[in-house]
Structure formats: structure tokens, C-alpha cells
């Protein structure tokens, strides 16, 4: 046993070898003279910083600094260390890997590569999926005005936010226009709310799941959203909700992110639905867009949503075509912007996918209902309009010198016939547009593999596809038989009882089950078509990417 309480030449301390909040390469810790064991952490006396130790016991301090360097280069990581000094002699008590914020994790990983301490593969392994979640989300210092927990909801999109509570999208937009922050509080969000959701600093809803498409919209923007907060009562008419306030201060993410992205071996394509998102993705090192969800473009304004509704409610083909004609210019101009932002890189655009209630709030469809390619097969004119907008945009920007690599992706395919149907339509539209515009360009047509049947018959599907992208959100939903819309009702119970180790829809891909389908489908697909390009998307892919990049050889 070493004694730190043997007078002014003794003491005890804890430290991190680097700053665990920022990642700065500087010892970060606390020290107490003439103190023992837990005194520092117990908070009985207010500890001093390490300079105190440097001043009053310089020899022990020098040795401590040297030991920190030895430990870092041995463990090749930032360490959390406890030590005691007994009459000027240093005793190292304990050493373990230090916990850190997302910002620190990325900086430490990048710095350690630059210092020659770790290789790029190990650096990627040092960053955990949760770190990335944190990094792309506002981080806030919160001083609660009350220690009472007011309500509990689902962490649909991580982060924190502060602002005036507003009860309708218009108010959120008005506040935003005045440069003020608003929290949009709704019983549930509807398509009309999208403008307000975008304008709001954060979103709180009494109903809704974690991986429903509405939650995905908020996550796509990196906007804090708590959904399914059934403890709150929202009264829109009276503009009342029972909820408290907090004080906050904002901080931003880390500039090292782009460097870290460049350490990986797999290509990382962004999930982006607007030209602005595409630019942000490119600036963060994305090598193209792997998933552009076209439905999100329909949410972008009232006019667009109204036209989508007209299209859905149309009784005759003429009515539907008229509504689609209104949507075409919006889609085309969005695609133009996205192609420009991704000049020289591939852009995978997915045809309309979600269940139609996302556009018609009064209607509710099952997650496994009338959606995906079932829409484009039932209404071929819908696929034709989207393909036309993509090809017209591609030719227009290509004529201006932009290098475009469009890839059209058909969602929710379960049989080769479904894909074949859509591929034929798309190829006819391409031919027509190229003839009208007097030029051609190359493009790919592929599909998402997100229905277990598609994975089982991947060899047959590959014959119709230039590429596969595994949609792990739907594939997980359907493999487990959990609905993305209500899994949150029992998931916490499953997690706390150890029935599941992780949320397979949000955090860690189920390699044992879903992974087996992915492996099999890739092998079958490539056996049938060796040139098949294979990608993967969905909420859990960030964690998979880190795992893959750090474990697999070139």
C-alpha cells in the first residue's frame, strides 16, 4: 500500500493522458496534496490541477509524465490513470482506457496516426458508433432548472436543443425567420410539418417510433428529435403542454472528421436528399451518394406535398399524370443540384418508397403495405416521371461539363419480376429522354435488397440489377419481424432482460441473422453476375463500417 497522506511531500491524483473532452494532447487531471485514495473522486476536498504537483514535487511529476508516455505507447490509446505519491516517490495505482467524447475520440485517433503511434486501421477502431452520433449532433451543456425528470421519450434523433415551445409548424418557421430558436411540440408530426421541423431547433412528439420514416427525416438533418413521449399532453388549441425549460450552450463538431473518413478502405457514400445535404456530405469526405430518398424531396414544400396528394387521390390516369407533371420540375431541379454537388461521383437515387400515409396523415398503412416498388408497378407513370426527371437533370448538367454517374435504385423488391418490370420502364424512359435531348450517358439500375425473399433469390435478382444495396432497416425489420413503427414498445424490455444486447434497428447490425442473409445474397448475386456492385445502407451501417474497416484486410 502506498500512502498519499504522509504530509506535504505526498498526495494522490487521477489523470487522462489527453483531454477527454477535446482530445487535446495534454495531461488532464486533478491532484490533492496530503490525501489518500478516493479523496480526489469523492469530492471531500476540492482538487487542484496537475500544475500543483509539478510545482511541489517536480521529480515525481517528471516521472509521472514519462510513465504516461510509456503507457500510451504500450496500450496505443488514451489512458485513465490513478496514482499516489508517498514522500516524493511515485506509485502508479491503476491504468485503463479513458472514456472520451465523440470529438475527442476522432481527434485522438487522427493525432495518434500522425504521431506514428497507431495505424489507420486501428485508428478507425478507436472511434465507436456512438462517438459519430455525438459528433454530428449539437452537443450542449445543460443546467437543469429542476432535478425532477419531466418526461421520458424515445431518442429518435440524438442531441439536445433549447427554444421557445411552439405548437405548429408555421410558428416554428416564423420564429426561425426572426433568428430565434423554437422547439416544435406535436402529438405527432404530419407531412405539413416538414417546413416547421426543418426550422425548429428540436422536435418533441407524444407519439411515433424510433425508426419510422418521420424519425428518419429528423436524423437525416441531424436535428434532435424525441418521439413517443407519451408522458406529455399536447393541446394544440390551447397551445399548452406540460413541460419544463433548460438553459444551454451550444458547441460544434470536430474538424478532424474528414481526415478520419479518409482512413477507411470501404467507400463511404452519403445519405443525402437535397443539394445542400449533398454539399455537406462532400465536404465531410463522402465519395458519392449511396441513398437519395426521393420521398424527402416531396416533403420540401406545401406545393410539392399537395401535388403528391393529388397524385395519390387521382381517380383517372389523366388526373394522376397531371399531378405528376407538377412534380417533375421540382424533382429535376433537385437532381440537378445534387449531381452538381457530386460532380465526378456516383449518385444513387431511390424511387419513391414509403407507405402513402406519410403523405396523407388521415390514412394509416402497415409498414409492409402499399409501398416500395409496389407503387411504381401499380402506377408506372410514377416511375416514368421520376426516371424522366433523373435523366433530364443528368443530361442538363452533363451538357454544362458536370460529370454525372446516375444510379437508379428500385426499393422493396422481393422477386426478379418486380425488378424486371421497373428496369424495363426505366430503360425506355432513358432512351426517350436521350433521343429528345440528342445525347446519351451511362447509368446504372439496381435494387435495394431489403426483403428476406430478395436475399434468398439474389442470384435471380442480380440478373436484372447492376447493383445491390442492402437496406438494413427494412431487412432487419422483416428478418426479426419487428415493425419499425412500434418496436420501441418492447425494445427497452428486451434490452434490460438481455434478450437483445443492442438495438438491431438503430445501433448494431445483427450479424448472426441479418448478416447471414447479406453474406448469402452477396455470394449468390456475384456468382450470377461477377461485376455486381454491392453496397449497404441503413441506420446501423456506421457501426458496421467501423468494424469492417478496422478488421478486414485489404
Quick one: what does residue 4 bind among ligand PEP, Mg ion, none, with the CB cut-off 5 to 8 Å set by partner type? none
**Does residue 358 interact with Mg ion by CB under 5 A?**
no
Distance, CA of 361 to CA of 190 (rounded, Å): 6
User: Which residue in 537, 544, 545, 546 binds ligand PEP (CB under 6 A)?
Assistant: 537
Is 225 a residue of the active site?
A: no
Distance, CA of 262 to CA of 258 (rounded, Å): 6
User: Residues 394-433 vs Mg ion: string with x where CB under 5 A?
Assistant: ----------------------------------------
- Closer by beta carbon to ligand PEP, 37 or else 513: 513
Q: How far is the CB of 318 from ligand PEP (least distance, A)?
A: 30
Distance of CA 46 to the CA centre of its chain: 40
| Cβ atoms of residues 189 and 177 within 8 Å | no
* Number of residues engaging Mg ion in binding (CB under 5 A): 3
- Closer by beta carbon to ligand PEP, 4 or else 471: 471
Q: Report DSSP state, residue 306.
A: H
Catalytic entry in 176, 198, 213, 296: 213
- Closer by beta carbon to ligand PEP, 37 or else 155: 155
Task: Return the C-alpha cell found at 328.
Answer: 417533375
- Closer by beta carbon to ligand PEP, 259 or else 473: 473
Q: Report strand pairing: 444-449 vs 405-410.
A: parallel
Distance, CA of 398 to CA of 392 (rounded, Å): 10
Q: In sequence order, what are the residues at sequence separation of 6 or more whose Cβ sits closer than 8 angstroms to the Cβ of residue 284?
A: 257, 258, 261, 270
| Cβ atoms of residues 404 and 347 within 8 Å | yes
- Closer by beta carbon to ligand PEP, 353 or else 466: 353
Q: What is the 3-state secondary structure (H, E, C) of 467-479?
A: EEEEEHHHHHHHH
* Interacting residues with ligand PEP between 190 and 249 (CB under 6 A): 216
* Interacting residues with ligand PEP between 315 and 354 (CB under 6 A): 353
User: Which residue in 293, 296, 524, 533 binds ligand PEP (CB under 6 A)?
Assistant: 293
Q: How far is the CB of 457 from ligand PEP (least distance, A)?
A: 18
DSSP notation for 115-177: TTSS-HHHHHHTS-HHHHHHHTS-EEEEEES-SS-----EEEE------EEESSHHHHHHHHH
Quickly count: other Cβ atoms within 10 Å of residue 519's Cβ: 12
User: Residues 441-470 vs Mg ion: string with x where CB under 5 A?
Assistant: ---------x--------------------
Candidates 436, 458, 434, 460; CA nearest to 448 is 458
Quick one: what does residue 256 bind among Mg ion, ligand PEP, none, with the CB cut-off 5 to 8 Å set by partner type? none
Q: How far is the CB of 478 from Mg ion (least distance, A)?
A: 10
Q: How far is the CB of 474 from Mg ion (least distance, A)?
A: 4
SS3 state of residue 378: helix
- Closer by beta carbon to Mg ion, 196 or else 471: 471
User: Which residue in 161, 183, 291, 341 binds ligand PEP (CB under 6 A)?
Assistant: 291
Distance, CA of 29 to CA of 75 (rounded, Å): 19
Q: How far is the CB of 209 from ligand PEP (least distance, A)?
A: 12
Task: Return the C-alpha cell found at 535.
Answer: 453496397
Q: How far is the CB of 1 from Mg ion (least distance, A)?
A: 59
Q: Report strand pairing: 139-144 vs 28-33.
A: unpaired
Burial 402-436 (b: 16+ CB within 10 A, else e): bebbbbbbbbbbbbbebbbbbbebbeebbeebbee
Task: Return the C-alpha cell found at 531.
Answer: 461485376
- Closer by beta carbon to Mg ion, 295 or else 474: 474
- Closer by beta carbon to ligand PEP, 33 or else 505: 505
**Does residue 450 interact with ligand PEP by CB under 6 A?**
yes
SS3 content of the chain, % helix, strand, coil (to 5): 45, 20, 40
User: Which residue in 39, 171, 474, 539 binds Mg ion (CB under 5 A)?
Assistant: 474
Quickly count: other Cβ atoms within 10 Å of residue 334's Cβ: 23
Q: How far is the CB of 211 from ligand PEP (least distance, A)?
A: 7
Q: Which stretch binds Mg ion (CB under 5 A): 434-442, 474-482, 499-507, 516-524?
A: 474-482
Task: Return the C-alpha cell found at 335.
Answer: 437532381
Quick one: what does residue 291 bind among ligand PEP, Mg ion, none, with the CB cut-off 5 to 8 Å set by partner type? ligand PEP
Cα angle 23, 544, 264 (rounded to 5 degrees) comes to 60
Is 537 a residue of the active site?
A: yes
**Does residue 540 interact with ligand PEP by CB under 6 A?**
no
User: Which residue in 20, 471, 504, 535 binds Mg ion (CB under 5 A)?
Assistant: 471
- Closer by beta carbon to ligand PEP, 103 or else 296: 296
Quick one: what does residue 383 bind among Mg ion, ligand PEP, none, with the CB cut-off 5 to 8 Å set by partner type? none
* Interacting residues with ligand PEP between 457 and 496 (CB under 6 A): 471-474
**Residue ranges binding Mg ion (CB under 5 A):** 450, 471, 474
Q: Give me the active site residues, please.
A: 213, 537
**Residue ranges binding ligand PEP (CB under 6 A):** 216, 291, 293, 353, 450, 471-474, 537-538
Amino acid at each position: 500500500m502506498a500512502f498519499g497522506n504522509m504530509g506535504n511531500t505526498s498526495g494522490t491524483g487521477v489523470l487522462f493522458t489527453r483531454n477527454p473532452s477535446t482530445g487535446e494532447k495534454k495531461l488532464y487531471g486533478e491532484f490533492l496534496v496530503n490525501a489518500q485514495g478516493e479523496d480526489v473522486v469523492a469530492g471531500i476536498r476540492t482538487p487542484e490541477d496537475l500544475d500543483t504537483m509539478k510545482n511541489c514535487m517536480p521529480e515525481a511529476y517528471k516521472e509521472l509524465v514519462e510513465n504516461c508516455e510509456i503507457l500510451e505507447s504500450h496500450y496505443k490509446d488514451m489512458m485513465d490513470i490513478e496514482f499516489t505519491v508517498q514522500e516524493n516517490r511515485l506509485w502508479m495505482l491503476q491504468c485503463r482506457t479513458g472514456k472520451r467524447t465523440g470529438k475527442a475520440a476522432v481527434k485522438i485517433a487522427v493525432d495518434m496516426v500522425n504521431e506514428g503511434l497507431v495505424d489507420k486501421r486501428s485508428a478507425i477502431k478507436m472511434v465507436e458508433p456512438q462517438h459519430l452520433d455525438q459528433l454530428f449532433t449539437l452537443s450542449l451543456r445543460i443546467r437543469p432548472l429542476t432535478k425532477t425528470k419531466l418526461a421520458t421519450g424515445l431518442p429518435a434523433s440524438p442531441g439536445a436543443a433549447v427554444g421557445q415551445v411552439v405548437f405548429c409548424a408555421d410558428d416554428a418557421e416564423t420564429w426561425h425567420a426572426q433568428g430565434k430558436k423554437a422547439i416544435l411540440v406535436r402529438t405527432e408530426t404530419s407531412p405539413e410539418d416538414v417546413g416547421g421541423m426543418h426550422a425548429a431547433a428540436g422536435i418533441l412528439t407524444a407519439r411515433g417510433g424510433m425508426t419510422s420514416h418521420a424519425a428518419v427525416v429528423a436524423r437525416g438533418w441531424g436535428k434532435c428529435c424525441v418521439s413517443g413521449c407519451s408522458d406529455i399532453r399536447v393541446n394544440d388549441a390551447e397551445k399548452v403542454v406540460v413541460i419544463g425549460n433548460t438553459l444551454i450552450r451550444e458547441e460544434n463538431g470536430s474538424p478532424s472528421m474528414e481526415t478520419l473518413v479518409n482512413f477507411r478502405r470501404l467507400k463511404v457514400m452519403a445519405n443525402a436528399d437535397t443539394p445542400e445535404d449533398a454539399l455537406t456530405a462532400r465536404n465531410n469526405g463522402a465519395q458519392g451518394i449511396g441513398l437519395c430518398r426521393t420521398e424527402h424531396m416531396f416533403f420540401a414544400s406545401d406545393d410539392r406535398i399537395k401535388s403528391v396528394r393529388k397524385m395519390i387521390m387521382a381517380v383517372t390516369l389523366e388526373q394522376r399524370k397531371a399531378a405528376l407533371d407538377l412534380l417533375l420540375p421540382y424533382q429535376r431541379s433537385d437532381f440537378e443540384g445534387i449531381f452538381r454537388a457530386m460532380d465526378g461521383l456516383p449518385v444513387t437515387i431511390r424511387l419513391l418508397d414509403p407507405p402513402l400515409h406519410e403523405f396523407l396523415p388521415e390514412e394509416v398503412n402497415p409498414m409492409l403495405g402499399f409501398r416500395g416498388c409496389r407503387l411504381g408497378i401499380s402506377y408506372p407513370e410514377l416511375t416514368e416521371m421520376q426516371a424522366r426527371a433523373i435523366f433530364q437533370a443528368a443530361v442538363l448538367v452533363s451538357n454544362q461539363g458536370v460529370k454525372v454517374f446516375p444510379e437508379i435504385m428500385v426499393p422493396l423488391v422481393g422477386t426478379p419480376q418486380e425488378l424486371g418490370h421497373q428496369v424495363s420502364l426505366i430503360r425506355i424512359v432513358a432512351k426517350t429522354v436521350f433521343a429528345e435531348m440528342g445525347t446519351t450517358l451511362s447509368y446504372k439500375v439496381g435494387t435495394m435488397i431489403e426483403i428476406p425473399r430478395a436475399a434468398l433469390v439474389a442470384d435471380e435478382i442480380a440478373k436484372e440489377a447492376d447493383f445491390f444495396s442492402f437496406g438494413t432497416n427494412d431487412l432487419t425489420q422483416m428478418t426479426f419481424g419487428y415493425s419499425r413503427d412500434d418496436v420501441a414498445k418492447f425494445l427497452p424490455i428486451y434490452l434490460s432482460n438481455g434478450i437483445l444486447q443492442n438495438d438491431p434497428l438503430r445501433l448494431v447490425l445483427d450479424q448472426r441473422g441479418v448478416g447471414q442473409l447479406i453474406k448469402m445474397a452477396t455470394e449468390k448475386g456475384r456468382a450470377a453476375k461477377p461485376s455486381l456492385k454491392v453496397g449497404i445502407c441503413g441506420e446501423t451501417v456506421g457501426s458496421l463500417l467501423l468494424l469492417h474497416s478496422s478488421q478486414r484486410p485489404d
